[in-house]
Amino acid sequence: MKRFIGFITKEFYHIFRDRRSLFILFGMPIVQILLFGFAITNEINNVDIAILDHSKDATTKEIINKISASKYFSIKQLIEREDDIEAVFKKGKVKAVLNFEKDFSKNLVKDHKATVQIITDATDPNTANTISNYVSSILQKYQQEQNKAITINYIIVPQPRMVYNPELKSVYMFVPGVMTIILMLVSAMMTSISITREKELGTMEILLVSPIKPFQVIIGKVFPYIFLSIINAIVIVLLSIFIFKMPVQGSLFLLGLESVLFIISALALGILISTISATQQTAMMISLMGLMLPVILLSGFIFPISSMPLPLQIISNAIPAKWFIIILKGIMLKGVGLQFIWKETLILLGMTVFFIGLSVKKYKIRLE
Amino acid sequence: MNNTNVIQAEGLTKMFGDFTAVNAITFEVKKGEIFGFLGANGAGKTTAIKMLIGISNPTSGQAHVAGFDVSTQAEDIKKNIGYMSQKFALYDDLTVKENITFFGGIYGLTKIKIKEKTKELIEDLGLEEVANQLVGSLPLGWKQKISFSVALLHEPKIVFLDEPTGGVDPITRRQFWEMIYRASHQGTTIFVTTHYMDEAEYCDRVSIMVNGKIEALDTPKELKKQFQVDSMNDVFLKLARG
């Protein structure tokens, strides 16, 4: 035990004396959370639009007022001619143009039908889509208000309700993802680098010749990172609660346990990487390419798994991060207990055991 | 087994697939001896050492180090030997004192003992001024001396030195050999590999490995006589050329 404490003390010296690893450990999580939370967002706010109103009657005025009163849009320009549409888009001043047809009110009364064209700049398809949806919903609302007075035989009113994230805040989606990335990065990359560093410096050999046992070396190397990863997880949860006002609905205790499980699986991967790479550079490259990319692309963090081609959907099952994100979303957003996520937990546990077994086996072969 | 032999190898062999890295070497090292283990790069020196210090299992043959079998009692061997690799592996981002404390700790020395040893080592090497400096900032020659002293911290019966003088200047090498002699006088057996032939002259006995086999083993004086040359360098050249 005394040896173990000495070993861990040494490991902390390494971490705290290396600015680069300190930054990765503590700077990165905060920077990433803030970046994803504030800068990268799917919500729209105060989008500049232009209006081309061919009729300029009471109805169109009312609709335009409604749109400009919403916090989503601000009317930047009123244009007069069809030709100007292209021009305002090219200048990049507006993201959308609403084009009301001639005799809007009249048509509405006469034909019970009038059209407004929503032209959006689809160079950014997500935003274009969102804008178009928002405008449609404002129009629909207006129409319903008008129809209250008139009696129609029947009408189907869709009532969409977004549950678990009613305001569609994108931070709700990013927090679980970023937490996953960070825990993976800190646990897997940092451990694999710190173990290969000992190999590169030749100190690993000295350690193997000493009476300290190989598994003690590995546990000694990994332990500080378990500790630091847990701190990171806590920091991320606190940031999301206090800065982004994203409440954790479920049990914090369960969240903690699941995080520790994921951290251990990432550490096992880190050890595995260290057994196959001879230098720190290799370890870093393998960690980044082999772990980070799949976590970002295939875990369902950014791109929904259900819309991926089948082969990728199958591959995504092999990524521990996918399961962890499902678990995190379950606990943080839906507030579910273990009875709803036991399957994912079991898969993650199985993977962890598998990775540990594999790295122990690899490590032994290397000693031979 | 003879009591005065601290290392005894019989037909020690290591194969990697079809390649025989170490081919049935047999030799013994007496207590307190400085034993030179010579050979060109790739002759199998490092593989042989790895088997003797218990981090690589022999394919066949056997060896006893400090009275323990290398195949079955590696853990006991590790407690009784010191090892210094060609990289003088210390932690660059730890101070001299922290390095000593750490290595003392993994060999299970008590806190009091570590304190005592640290003081002794720092005085012996004249490191008072740099004891709290990071090892990374010290010149190579100092690292080498500290590394050797660290290998002796737990007072091992045998110290294995794998090319301990690579890359250091002649004066430092000289001083280093003085340290080796001192340790040897105190009863520590020294097992040293080198490819500096002048250093071979300092050894009590020398073995020369060529292509995995020990081709010559005797005192430097006898070897020179046997090959009818004036220096160990010539002995080596004669052997290596076949």
Provide, as residue numbers in chain B, all residues whose Cβ is less than 8 Å from the Cβ of A212: 106
pLDDT at A181 over 50: yes
- Average pLDDT for B107-127: 92
- The CA–CA distances, whole Å, from A266 to A11, A199, A341 equal 19, 20, 20
Q: Nearest CA to B117 among B135, B96, B133, B138? A: B96
Burial of residue A112, with CB atoms counted within 10 A of its CB: 0-12 exposed, 13-18 middle, 19 or more buried: exposed
Spell out the domain ranges in chain A.
Answer: 2-40+169-362, 47-149
pLDDT at B98 over 90: yes
* Cβ proximity of B156 and B190 under 8 Å: no
- Position A83 confidence tier, pLDDT thresholds 50, 70, 90: confident
* Cβ proximity of A306 and A227 under 8 Å: no
Q: Please, which residues have CB within 8 angstroms of residue A154's CB and are 6 or more apart in sequence?
A: none
pLDDT at B1 over 50: no
Mean pLDDT of chain A: 85
Q: Is the pTM of this model over 0.95?
A: no
The strand pair at B5-16 and B19-30 is best described as antiparallel
- Average pLDDT for A29-42: 75
Provide, as residue numbers in chain A, all residues whose Cβ is less than 8 Å from the Cβ of B94: 10, 13-14
**Which is higher by pLDDT, B1 or A286?**
A286
Per-residue confidence (pLDDT) for residue A151, from 0 to 100: 61
For the stretch B159-214, pLDDT in tens is 999 988 888 888 989 999 999 999 999 999 999 998 888 888 999 999 999 889 99
Do A209 and B54 make contact, defined as CB atoms within 8 angstroms?
yes
Enter the tokens of residue B28. Answer: 């013994």
Nearest to A209 among B53, B92, B102 (CB): B53
Mean pLDDT of chain B: 90
Percentage of chain A exceeding pLDDT 90:
23
Per-residue confidence (pLDDT) for residue A87, from 0 to 100: 86
Per-residue confidence (pLDDT) for residue B179, from 0 to 100: 93
Per-residue confidence (pLDDT) for residue A265, from 0 to 100: 93
- Average pLDDT for B215-223: 92
Enter the tokens of residue B230. Answer: 């004036």
Per-residue confidence (pLDDT) for residue B157, from 0 to 100: 94
Q: Which of A29-33, A132-136, B215-219, B233-237 has the lowest mean pLDDT?
A: A29-33
Provide, as residue numbers in chain B, all residues whose Cβ is less than 8 Å from the Cβ of A207: 106
Residue B109: closest CA among chain A residues belongs to which residue? A3
How far is it, in rounded angstroms, from Cα A294 to Cα A328? 18
Q: Please, which residues have CB within 8 angstroms of residue A254's CB and are 6 or more apart in sequence?
A: A331, A337, A338
Phi, psi dihedral angles at B8 (to 5 degrees): -140, 115
Q: How far is CA A132 from the centre of its chain?
A: 24
The sign of the torsion formed by the CA atoms of A42, A44, A45, A46 equals positive
Closest-CA distance, B167 to chain A, in angstroms, reads: 16
Per-residue confidence (pLDDT) for residue A41, from 0 to 100: 62
A residues 323-362 closer than 8 Å to B (CB): none
The sign of the torsion formed by the CA atoms of B92, B95, B100, B101 equals negative
Domains assigned to chain B: 5-87+155-241 (3.40.50.300)
For the stretch B7-57, pLDDT in tens is 999 999 999 989 999 999 999 999 999 999 998 888 888 899 999 998 888
How far is it, in rounded angstroms, from Cα B171 to Cα B223? 27
How far is it, in rounded angstroms, from Cα A138 to Cα A143? 9
What is the complex's ipTM, to 2 decimals? 0.87
Per-residue confidence (pLDDT) for residue A167, from 0 to 100: 67
Max Cα-Cα span within chain B: 54
- Position A202 confidence tier, pLDDT thresholds 50, 70, 90: confident
Homologous superfamily, domain A47-149: abc type-2 transporter like domain (3.40.1710.10)
For the stretch A312-353, pLDDT in tens is 899 999 999 999 999 999 998 888 888 889 999 999 999 999
Q: Nearest CA to A41 among A149, A170, A226? A: A170
Helix then strand then coil, in percent of chain B rounded to 5, is: 40, 30, 30
Identify the residue among B81, B94, B106 best suited for mutation to test binding to A, counting A beta carbons within 10 A and taking the highest. Answer: B106
